[in-house]
Chains A and B, each alone.
Chain A
Amino acid sequence: MLTNVVKHGLERIVGEANCSFSKEELLCYSYDATNTLHQPDAVVFPSGPEEVSLVLKMANSEGFPVVPRGAGTGFSGGSLPVGGGVVLSFERMRNILEIDTENMVAIVEPGVVTWDLQQAVEKLGLFYPPDPSSLKFSTIGGNIAECAGGPRAVKYGVTRDYVLGLEAVLPTGEIINTGVRTAKGVVGYDLTRLLVGSEGTLGVVTKAVLKLLPLPETTTTMLALFPDLRDAARATSAIIRARIIPSTLEIMDSVSIKCVEGFAKTGLPEAEALLLIEVDGHKAAVETEAEAVRRVCLENGAGEFRTASDRNEVKDLWKARRAVSAALYKARPGKINEDIVVPRSRIPDLVDGLRGISERHGVLIASFGHAGDGNIHVNIMHDRKSQAEAALAAAEDVFRLAVGLGGTISGEHGVGSAKSRYLDMELKPDAIAAMKRIKEAFDPKGILNPGKIFPGPGPQKRAPAGAGYAESK
């Protein structure tokens, strides 16, 4: 609970209209896409770095947690106020401040929705590639804090690769600028990269300098259907082996396909697995590459192959693809959603391993995602009442499998509060200790987004909810 002194202090800093304490408003800031609930004690909407700085300074002196929040679409509980405190919402800082076409740089406030930035730069013939499936509703601030990736990562990389510099407020209240607005820069430690992906635990981003690319001349969208998920996985490796780097290479299994059938007006065909592939670039190159993709798919068992004929079909296909994650609940009411990554060449082994886990624990596993970079969203679908334990056990096996195949337990969703207890499955104690020392150096009092990434002290009790677990209220 916050004292009245703190509440008045907050009102003085951001203005009464940008501050909420009412139960109703707090309720709306108590969840993210993990669908778990933790109510904050206040929500404030800052309008610039100075206000953020004052709030953080007060948090240090008065001792309350501060949790940055973008759109609240995270899949690991990053924006959940697990220990109460103040939610710092960037929903009112959503201006695109500058698009510098000559130097191909954009400067934005953290609350800008990724899609809005993309639309704005594309009008000028420029391109901001990072495209999490949540791109139409998640924010640049959230993308930076989670180092979000998307289908285009296979060719263009992830958010990290487009952040040149940041304006950020340190947990102790200092406003700093990191990085550059040039193509190069090596002066001092790379604090930009440290902040990107730090899940709002090391600093609060108030402005971002983003790198832009020229918009590719053309894009071709293709759909390959396979009689078996394993064939689709093999085709994925084969495409990359053929030295083609598609701009997206997405996989969906039969459960995922069924759940979003209705989303594409043209209808998604029935298949055990499909690949959604795009190649982009200059027209002539795109034609050659598209032809090569077709050949490789057919050689690797594709039963059907089509090329999208118009923009509406492309839009439809993506709408369906982006809806998968949320629509899977149609298959089972409970979902544990993991975003493991394995080396691309090991995807077929992953598919086999997942089949084993599904059988062993009696849960339904739906897989889809960014096959092109080995980042597969593994969804353990189950009955919330009778299968909660089995689902958690299956999730642990999935992590073990991923790490065993030389991969990681999270490619883009982050650790947050949902996955912290699995941290040591991937990281050695010394590495965790080094990270904790960094956190302490930045945030000696531990006021910024506490309870995230690192497991709390004491024995790790099994949380009732795993990552992305939809808790029934």
Chain B
Amino acid sequence: MKPLNLLKHEIDKCVRCGTCRSTCPTTKVLGVETASPRGRVSLVSAYSSGEIGLSETYLKHLRECTLCGACRTNCPNGVDTVSIFASARAEAVEKQGAPLAASLAFRGLRDPGGIVGMGLKLARRLQGLLFKDASAGAGLVSRFSLPLVGNGRLIPPLAGTFFLDLPEVRAYESSKGAPGEAGKPRVAFYAGCGVNYLMPWVGTKSVELIRRAGAVVSVPGGQACCGMPAYAMGDLAAAREMARKNLEALESSGADLIATSCATCGHGLKSIMPELLSDDPGLKLRAEKVASRVRDISELLLNDLGFRGAGGGSGASTVVTYHDPCHLGRAQGLREAPRELIKMGRGTVLKEMKNPCLCCGLGGGLMYTNYELSMEIAGKKAENIKKSGADVVATACPGCIIQLKDGLHRAGVQTEVKHVVELL
């Protein structure tokens, strides 16, 4: 990953045309230049030339960004805004000395009000988890902001048994466990924090589908958080540690392909893990090898395994709309595959909503640093979902699921939220 001083050329590529104002979810909500990609690039530019320091105002505007990448995709000059913002955040954490994600996590835990409403038992488990190994649950805190309970927040309940602890999953720890069809690849399933702690059923369903499609599945032990939340918060040291752990776990699984049902983890493993480890040429090479084998569940099922559906779609009755996770649509270029899966669902018809790739507002740690803004963005999304008239909104990322549920709940919209695999 490039430090900020090596990104000067990238920053100077911005000609301040303002095109990106039209694509940014935070500009949509707040309207002002300081909450626009162009404003943020200008601020980072001023910071890197020494015109301004690491002031609170600077950091506020820098962190009021979901890193959704919409500005990068639409910039006529191809300015890599996301890298600029990520590097600027990393530099801030480095200079301020405090690994942000972790310190925030523990601040949340120390605040007794922070755990009210979660159920003491669960809170204790979470606390234990985080104290035992901060890297294991970093995503829970900075991504799902779990121990922090805001006003009227819909808190995602912690799973009774975590996915990786389920007996049937442990049985899959090595790929010898399950028989597969000849000629089909061996697949390692990577869970990620969202699936592991919050929605294990998405994991079990994914594993079941991979098996149904004829592949041998393993769920390798030693998996850590994908590191994306720490990366987004600028805590590179933590993110690197997780990247190394995952590299080892996934390498030693010996699988041909690695599947995940989380868009963010997918993007993290495919692109960010090698970037994080790029300082060490040896590690980088290994990471790139592993990265090239990572697949989102939808592309794995459709492209690698030739999955053709459950075949049970009699008389369509459920109208499903699809939300493109930023980390799947824009970051991995996967827009069609999840839609194809929805069309194969049991009795489902797909109906597009307006602007399906508008960010849900969760990313970049925004729900953590500015929950209100994050929810206002989710509100825009909820409006589009409501207008689509769909019964179900499906998506392919646990983060988006949590956020959409919260946003819809706030807006009083009844639409159900599901992971795409749940429709199959």
Contacts and interface: CB of A to CB of B under 8 A. Distances in A.
A22 B51 CA distance: 13
A162 to B, nearest CB: 21
Interface in A308-339: 323-327, 329-330, 335
Interface in B48-65: 49, 51-52, 55, 57-58, 61
B43 A137 contact: no
B362 to A, nearest CB: 25
Given A263-B76, A326-B76, A33 B43 contact: no
A80 B75 CA distance: 23
Interface in A326-378: 326-327, 329-330, 335
Contacts of A23: 51-52, 55
A24 B58 contact: yes
Contacts of A115: 22
B81 to A, nearest CB: 14
A324 to B, nearest CB: 8
B57 A25 contact: yes
B43 A92 contact: no
Given A24-B34, A326-B76, A327-B76, A33 B58 contact: no
Contact of A470 (B15, B22, B61): B15
Given A28-B33, A28-B43, A473-B49, A134 B18 contact: yes
Contacts of B2: none
A113 B22 contact: yes
Contacts of B31: 91-92, 94, 111
B386 to A, nearest CB: 16
A71 interface: yes
A202 B161 CA distance: 69
Contact of B32 (A89, A326, A473): A89
B306 to A, nearest CB: 26
Interface in A113-166: 113, 115, 134, 136-138
A23 B52 CA distance: 8
A417 to B, nearest CB: 15
Contacts of A178: none
A473 B45 contact: yes
Interface in B137-185: none
A71 B45 CA distance: 20
Contacts of B58: 24
A137 B36 CA distance: 11
A138 B17 CA distance: 10
Contacts of B19: 134, 136-137, 323, 326
A35 B32 CA distance: 18
A73 interface: yes
A23 B36 CA distance: 17
Interface string A97-114: 000000000000001010
A138 B19 CA distance: 9
A145 to B, nearest CB: 16
Interface string A2-46: 000000000000000000001111011101110100000000010
Contacts of B45: 473
B166 to A, nearest CB: 42
Interface string A37-76: 0000000010000000000000000000000000111000
A288 interface: no
Contacts of B57: 22, 24-25
B13 interface: yes
B372 interface: no
B77 interface: yes
B256 interface: no
Interface string A431-461: 0000000000000000000000000000000
Interface in B1-60: 12-13, 15-22, 31-34, 36, 39, 42-43, 45-46, 49, 51-52, 55, 57-58
Nearest to A93: B31
B77 A329 contact: yes
B77 A24 contact: no
Interface residues of B, number: 31
B51 A33 contact: no
A35 B22 contact: no
B34 A28 contact: yes
A472 interface: yes
Contacts of A89: 32-33
A323 B76 contact: yes
A466 to B, nearest CB: 15
A260 B42 CA distance: 24
Contacts of A470: 15
Contacts of A72: 18, 33
Contacts of B33: 28-29, 72, 89, 91
Contacts of A137: 18-22
A32 B43 contact: no
B315 to A, nearest CB: 30
A99 B116 CA distance: 48
A73 B18 contact: yes
B10 to A, nearest CB: 13
A45 B32 contact: yes
B42 A472 contact: no
Given A22-B57, A33-B16, A35-B15, A27 B77 contact: no
A472 B45 CA distance: 12
B34 A35 contact: no
A31 B76 contact: no
A387 to B, nearest CB: 17
B76 A260 contact: yes
A408 B75 CA distance: 31
A72 B21 CA distance: 10
A27 B21 contact: no
A473 B13 CA distance: 12
B1 to A, nearest CB: 25
Given A24-B43, A29-B33, A91-B32, A330 B77 contact: yes
A330 B79 CA distance: 11
A326 B34 contact: no
Nearest to A36: B16
B79 to A, nearest CB: 10
A14 B182 CA distance: 72
Nearest to A133: B19
A282 B78 CA distance: 39
Contacts of B61: 24
Contacts of B51: 23, 27
A382 B32 CA distance: 33
A23 B51 CA distance: 9
Contacts of B55: 22-24
Contact of B52 (A24, A134, A325, A472): A24
A325 B6 CA distance: 27
Nearest to B34: A28
B17 A71 contact: no
A167 B20 CA distance: 30
A27 B76 contact: no
A71 B13 contact: no
A29 B18 CA distance: 12
15 contacts: A24-B34, A24-B46, A25-B34, A28-B36, A28-B43, A32-B18, A35-B16, A72-B18, A89-B32, A91-B32, A136-B22, A325-B76, A326-B19, A330-B78, A473-B12
Interface of B: 12-13, 15-22, 31-34, 36, 39, 42-43, 45-46, 49, 51-52, 55, 57-58, 61, 75-78
4 smallest beta-carbon distances between A and B, as pairs: A326-B76, A323-B76, A136-B22, A326-B17
Given A24-B57, A326-B76, 10 more contacts: A23-B51, A23-B52, A24-B46, A25-B57, A27-B43, A27-B51, A73-B21, A91-B32, A92-B32, A138-B18
